[in-house]
Amino acid sequence: MKKFFVVFFAFQLVFISLIAQTSALPPVDNSPMDMSYFPTNYPVLKIQDKVTETPVARIIYSRPQKISRAIFGGLVKYREVWRMGANEATEIEFYKNVQIGGKKISKGRYTLYAIVNENNWTMILNKDTDTWGAFRYDAKKDVLRTEVPVQKTDELIESLCMVFEKTSTGCNLVIAWENTKVSLPISF
């Protein structure tokens, strides 16, 4: 009888530990998802039941880390389509019509890709959304291609970062990683 209880309790311990393992929350992703809005203070508080400013754009992307790797020309190959982050392809949404590279872009959601070169990037807006990586990238679905110059930074940027900054004609989408920065002008 004593053997039965020992085996029974051992089985219970194994069963409880299996339950505990399956209910554990997942660890933080190596490239966590992030989001930026323009204006950066969105959502804006209502003042006397009036919204003072509505969003113009939002970008959702995953933020890979440098982790002692060569990024541009290494991890991100020159002259190849890049998903602008990790995991799912980066998506940008415009809440109103904008202009990029002199072309009217209708409000809506797009995937943002880039072809990275040493001195400039070709920024690509594509209408195929909800894609993982750039594996199914289809140039026939491009809405826009425009070049932006590369700027070198003095500071080392460990995590890919995308933020909007206000300009006199709208905003710039600033993308920075490693020692590289580009700005995509958006007018509205």
User: pLDDT digits over 2-21, tens only?
Assistant: 554 444 444 454 445 545 55
Per-residue pLDDT tens for 52-83? 568 999 999 999 999 999 999 999 999 999 99
The sign one gets for the Cα dihedral 141, 164, 97, 121 is negative
Residue 106 DSSP symbol: -
The sign one gets for the Cα dihedral 90, 93, 98, 103 is positive
Domain range list for the chain: 27-187
Strand, coil or helix: 25: coil
Q: How many Å apart are CA 157 and CA 134, to the nearest integer? A: 23
List of residues 6+ apart from 111 with CB closer than 8 A: 89, 90, 91, 92, 125, 126, 127, 128, 129, 131
pTM: 0.81
